[in-house]
């Protein structure tokens, strides 16, 4: 056994880098901008992609960092980006933070999460009240943050003790609640904004790994990227709960990791497995186009 291990580094030299693209531009998350353009968050930073000619420009180069979900907030001076940045090691522990950037890439605010070991996972914004809601996928907490105050602190909206890993979060404004996916259990939870009551609105069993969500508040539809079941689910309300059906056909997507609603109601899906960004018609799930970053 020992001799096998000794040979390992050489063997893995090929294994690790033999066939894999090491491109650092794989999309981690997609959002649509007010202009209809696409914003892509990848490990380097935020890119803006013109839909008409597929040209991209770098909005913000973060250098080296890791990030997942982000939010686009329309404002008078142009869209702003809210980016949860992963833990940073300081002398007194590990801390996450949320940073805000203008469409020109200028940082205008940074809110540290003053909770040791916290990890900001999902984020959604109540644009009318300028409040951000973030899920902490490590401590299973949903935080609230006032965006109008650059000195504001994250406050705990609710701690969900029996959750697995809290993931993406969307605002169901119509019902005055947040919808939070549990990435580990494959469930959707609702958190009432007034009473902070938590209940399961989509049971385990259907979804395996809901890593991204977006809500169409006009048509009252919920779209969920399920990375392990390789599909996008579309949710329709059923009383207080949701029912989901598959929107995409089997084996079309490989590892969908982010969904974003386009202004015309179609749906962008970032697929890490196929290294593509797809645009689907939400009415029938047909592919409208693909973008290869």
Partner 1 sequence: MSLRPTAAFVTAMLVFLPLRAAALDLHLDNVQTAASPFEFNKITDSGDTGISISRDALIASTPSYDLWMEPEGVSAVPQYGYFRYEIYVRPKTSPGQITRLIFRGKTDGGFDDQFAEVHFTVSNGASSEAGTIMLPIFGRLPSGAITSDQPADPIPVFLATDKEISVPLTNQLKQMPVRITGASASPNDRSLWKPVEIRGATSGAFTPFLLLNGAPPSPDNLKIWLQPKTPQAFATALIPGKNKEDDVITVLVRYKTLAREEMSSPIRVRVRFEPWPPYLPFVAVIGAVLGWLILLGVRARKEESGDQMRILVAAAVAAFLIEIFGMLLVAGGSELKFLGFPIDPFRLLPATFIGLIAGLAGYQSRDFLLNFAKISFFKLGNTGGGQ
Q: How far is the CB of 155 from partner 1 (least distance, A)?
A: 21
Q: How far is the CB of 12 from partner 1 (least distance, A)?
A: 5
Nearest C-alpha neighbor of 271 from the set 285, 286, 290, 284: 290
256, burial (CB in 10 Å: exposed 0-12, middle 13-18, buried 19+)? buried
Element (H, E) at 17: helix 2-17
Q: Which is nearer to partner 1, 10 or 104 (CB)?
A: 10
Q: CB under 8 Å to 40, separation ≥6 — which residues?
A: 27, 29, 30, 46, 47, 48, 49, 56, 270, 277, 293
Rounded distance, CA 28 to CA 165, Å?
A: 18
Q: Which is nearer to partner 1, 28 or 79 (CB)?
A: 28
Q: Which is nearer to partner 1, 121 or 235 (CB)?
A: 121
Token pair for 277: 């960004």
Q: How far is the CB of 63 from partner 1 (least distance, A)?
A: 8
Decide: 218 and 174 in contact? Cβ < 8 Å. Answer: no
Q: How far is the CB of 20 from partner 1 (least distance, A)?
A: 5
100-126 burial: b if 16+ Cβ within 10 Å, else e: bbbbebeeebebbbebeebbbbbbbbb
CB atoms within 10 A of CB 152: 15
Cα angle value 64/44/259 (rounded, 5°): 130
The contact set with partner 1 (CB under 8 A) reads 1, 5, 8-10, 12-20, 22, 24, 28, 43, 63-69, 84, 86-87, 89, 94, 119-122, 137-138, 165, 167, 183-184, 208-209, 211, 227-229, 255, 257, 272
Q: How far is the CB of 52 from partner 1 (least distance, A)?
A: 30
Q: How far is the CB of 16 from partner 1 (least distance, A)?
A: 5
Q: How far is the CB of 213 from partner 1 (least distance, A)?
A: 13
Rounded distance, CA 161 to CA 136, Å?
A: 12
Element (H, E) at 11: helix 2-17
């Amino acid at each position: 056994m020992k001799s096998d291990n000794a040979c390992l580094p050489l063997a893995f030299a090929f294994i690790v880098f033999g066939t894999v693209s090491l491109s650092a531009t794989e999309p981690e998350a997609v959002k649509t901008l007010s202009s209809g353009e696409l914003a892509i968050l990848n490990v380097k930073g935020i890119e803006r992609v013109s839909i008409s000619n597929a040209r991209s420009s770098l909005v913000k180069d973060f250098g080296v960092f890791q990030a997942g979900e982000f939010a686009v907030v329309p404002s008078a001076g142009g869209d702003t980006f809210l980016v949860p940045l992963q833990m940073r090691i300081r002398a007194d522990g590990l801390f996450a933070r949320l940073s805000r950037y203008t469409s020109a890439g200028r940082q205008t605010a940074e809110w540290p999460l003053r909770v040791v070991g916290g990890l900001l996972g999902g984020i959604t914004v109540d644009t009318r009240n300028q409040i951000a809601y973030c899920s902490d996928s490590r401590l299973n907490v949903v935080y609230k943050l006032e965006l109008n105050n650059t000195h504001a602190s994250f406050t705990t909206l609710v701690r969900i003790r029996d959750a697995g890993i809290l993931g993406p979060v969307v605002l169901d404004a119509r019902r005055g609640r947040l919808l939070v996916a549990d990435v580990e259990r494959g469930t959707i939870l609702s958190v009432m904004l007034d009473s902070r009551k938590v209940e399961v609105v989509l049971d385990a069993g259907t979804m395996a790994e809901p890593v991204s969500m977006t809500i169409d508040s006009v048509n009252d539809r919920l779209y969920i990227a399920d990375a392990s079941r390789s599909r996008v689910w579309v949710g329709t309300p059923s009383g207080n709960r949701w029912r989901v059906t598959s929107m995409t056909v089997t084996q079309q997507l490989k590892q969908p990791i982010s969904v974003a609603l386009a202004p015309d109601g179609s749906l962008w899906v970032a697929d890490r497995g196929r290294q593509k960004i797809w645009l689907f018609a939400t009415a029938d799930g047909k592919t409208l186009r693909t973008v290869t970053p």
